[in-house]
Amino acid sequence: MRLALFLAGWLVLYSGLMWVVALAQQPGPRGEPGVVILDGFRPPPGLCLPCRYRRCRDGDTVEISLPESKRRWAIRLKDCWAPEMNEPGGPAAKRRAEELLEEAEQLHVFIPAPGNWENLLANLTFDRIPGYIWLSDLETLNGRLIREGHATAERVD
Residuewise pLDDT in 10s, the chain (157 residues): 554 444 344 433 333 333 433 444 444 444 444 444 444 556 678 889 999 999 999 999 999 999 888 899 999 999 999 999 999 999 999 999 999 999 998 999 998 887 777 776 676 667 889 999 999 888 999 999 999 999 998 887 6
Residue 115's pLDDT is what?
78
Written as one string, the DSSP assignment of 87-153 is STTHHHHHHHHHHHHHH-SSEEEEEE--SSHHHHHHH-BTTBEEEEEESSSS-BHHHHHHHTTSSBS
Which residues are within 8 A (CB) of 104 and not within 5 positions of it... i.e. 6 or more apart? 53, 135, 136
Mean pLDDT for the chain overall: 77
Angle at 98 between CA 93 and CA 100, to 5 degrees: 95
Give yes or no for a contact between 74 and 61, defined as CB atoms under 8 angstroms apart: yes
Residue 125's pLDDT is what?
65
Task: Tell me how far apart the alpha carbons of residues 48 and 21 are, in angstroms, rounded to a whole number.
Answer: 24
Task: Tell me how far apart the alpha carbons of residues 104 and 3 are, in angstroms, rounded to a whole number.
Answer: 44
Task: Tell me how far apart the alpha carbons of residues 63 and 131 are, in angstroms, rounded to a whole number.
Answer: 12
Residue-range domain boundaries for the chain: 1-37, 43-147
β-sheet bridge partners, residue 132: 110
Residue 83's pLDDT is what?
93
Instruction: Give the CATH number of domain 43-147; options: 2.30.40.10, 3.30.70.250, 3.90.1150.10, 2.40.50.90.
Output: 2.40.50.90
Residue 55's pLDDT is what?
96
Residue 72's pLDDT is what?
93
Written as one string, the DSSP assignment of 67-89 is TT---EEEEEETT-BPPPTTSTT
Residue 42's pLDDT is what?
60
Task: Tell me how far apart the alpha carbons of residues 16 and 29 are, in angstroms, rounded to a whole number.
Answer: 25
Residue 156's pLDDT is what?
73
